[in-house]
Amino acid sequence: MIMLNTLLVALLFVTSLAVVQVKNETRQAFVRLEQLQQQRDDMHIEWGKMQLEQSTYSGHSRIDHIARNELKMVVPQEYAVIKVTR
């Protein structure tokens, strides 16, 4: 009987250590999950900003403005256009 009680106490102790270990791992996994969710949210915000920036830089009016003002480009006159055919 004493041997059985000792065995049960030892098993109870081992089980309680296992419960503590699992709870600790669960907490760590939850912290990691929150970190990854925050990283996902930050990346989603950055993606939205990049899409807005891309649409701004690729807009036709911006390209036209840069071509005319910074690069001094002009639309060629009809007589300056030469069509090449084969």
Which residues have C-beta within 8 Å of that of residue 62, sequence separation ≥ 6? 56
Report angle CA 47, 48, 50 to the nearest 5 degrees.
65
- pTM assigned to the model: 0.58
Q: At residue 5, does pLDDT exceed 90?
A: yes
Q: For residue range 32-51, what is the model confidence (pLDDT) as tens digits? A: 999 999 999 999 999 999 99
Instruction: Map tokens 């102790």 to a residue.
Output: 13
Measured distance between the N- and C-terminal CA atoms of the chain, rounded to whole angstroms:
106
DSSP classification of residue 80 = G
Query: Which residue spans within 1-86 are E strands per DSSP?
Result: none
